Structure 1
């Protein structure tokens, strides 16, 4: 089945392996379907959690900075040969900043399932639609699954 998430302008998604994107999309679908059966207060609580979720760029900057600092610290203790770790980390962060994607981002995304800001926002908008925050989104008959599917489609609009 083709994914409901058609975020074509997302550089990270376009460069990530399809199975990684699929795994992240399926997690969002499961969550939205689960939340379609919950009370508004539980949806609101989960939305607060999503507000605090780190996106991929933030995670890459933290991982890259930690690698650079570790390289500097090890180079200081070991006579400088670990300095290459800091240099590589700085280069990877520069690539991420300039191009919007890179090997470090792919690694963090694949291993940790860290999502882009657009992916997090899509889930938030779908949950807000479920909660009834938007007047123009129709409320389909057919129960929680139909509501979840309508919310996911509305989040893409």
Structure 2
């Protein structure tokens, strides 16, 4: 399943291929596990977990807000030198907002933080396996169903 994820968002395109492959392999392993188990209640619980997962944009916003607040708090105590950190955080957030990636995106992606599109692909694949869509064949075994679910989620 080398080419099922055809996403071309800016975060993926600015992430090293090894990191993207590791994220994709995690998704594949989860979808294959669900296809093998075919347990609808487990799929529903897993989908609820995916709904709560933070995406890259949310993680960047929280991290930059924390850095900005830290810069202001420490800057208040030391005469203002640390307030530069707030400016750097604001610039990083601006860059991420304008281009879809920034200085914090790389480390967060390396930690496994996914884009909303990547999370949604996994959600739709699990929903397809659960039977929410008609495009997934019931024959061919769990791996064929997992492959079909991932391809259906991408389209």
TM-score calculated relative to the size of structure 1: 0.94
Aligned to 2:58: 58
Measure the CA separation in 1 of the matches of 2:24 and 2:116. Answer: 14
CA deviation map 1:91-130 (0-9, x unaligned): 00011111111111122111x2100000000000000010
Contact 1:74 1:82 in 2 (8 A): yes
RMSD of equivalent CA atoms: 1.2
77-86 or 62-71, larger mean C-alpha shift: 77-86
| 8 Å contact kept, 2:129–2:136 | no
2:19 corresponds to? 20
Q: Secondary structure at the match of 2:104?
A: helix
Match of 2:140 among 133, 139, 142: 142
Q: Which runs of 4+ in 1 moved over 2 A?
A: none
Aligned pairs for 1:4-153 (under 5 A) are: 4-8=4-8, 10-38=9-37, 39-110=39-110, 112-135=111-134, 137-153=135-151
| Secondary structure of residue in 1 paired with 2:101 | coil
Show structure 2 runs of 5+ residues with no match. Answer: none
Structure 1: gaps spanning 5 or more residues: none
Larger RCO (alpha carbons 8 Å, 6+ apart): 2
Instruction: Give the superposition deviation at 1:140.
Output: 4.7
